[in-house]
Homo-oligomer: A and B are copies of this chain.
Amino acid sequence: MLVLVDQDGVLADFDRGFNLAWQERFPHRAVLDLALRKNFYLHDDYPAGYRAEIRDIQASAGFILNLPPIPGALAALKALLDAGHDVRICTAPLSRFTNCVGEKFQWVVDHLGPAWVDRIVLTKDKTLVRGDVLIDDKPAVTGALDPLWEHLVFEAPYNVAATSRRINWSNWRQVLQQVELDRAGRLGADR
């Protein structure tokens, strides 16, 4: 199977990285309890007056590069590959791309190794990319085309209302099982 995996929020812990950077820059301000996140975009969960500062942090040099990995994600990615699947990292750049795009690539080198760079597909519109499944924390992934992949929603506090099947890396076998289930479902539908 061709498995597309999102980067921010699925492999790289964008929220935790943000909280660390926020606390470092503004040590006397309150920090958001990540379990209370409600909106996909982090700045929508902070008071509106902080929006510019939040985006400045996210666009700053080193922010993307220093995101900690989601626990279990890197091992699960390699397990998917070992299980014979073709795995690609399918990620959208931030609007303020200057530091982001190069650092996304370097993050993959640092955490998965240089061979994984060739597995990156960087695109704002993921419906353009072929795949059997897309593992993504965004509640609804839309674009110009009807997607060929099935969306498996990677669990996060801000996507509990998503109607698609939800998975997490806490037991990577769950991911493999869901991927296999999806294949079985497709094969069934083809008949």
Contact = CB atoms under 8 A, between A and B. Distances in A.
Nearest to A93: B105
Given A122-B121, A124-B120, A130-B128, A144 B86 contact: yes
Interface in A94-147: 95, 97-99, 101-102, 105-106, 117-125, 128-131, 144-145
Interface residues of A, number: 28
Given A102-B97, A102-B99, A105-B97, A145 B121 contact: no
A20 interface: no
Contacts of A98: 102, 105-106
Contacts of A151: none
B124 A123 contact: no
Contact of A101 (B105, B123, B124, B131): B105
Given A101-B122, A119-B124, A128-B131, 14 more contacts: A86-B144, A95-B117, A98-B102, A98-B105, A101-B105, A118-B125, A121-B125, A121-B129, A122-B122, A123-B123, A128-B130, A130-B130, A130-B145, A130-B148
Interface of A: 2, 86, 88, 93, 95, 97-99, 101-102, 105-106, 117-125, 128-131, 144-145, 148
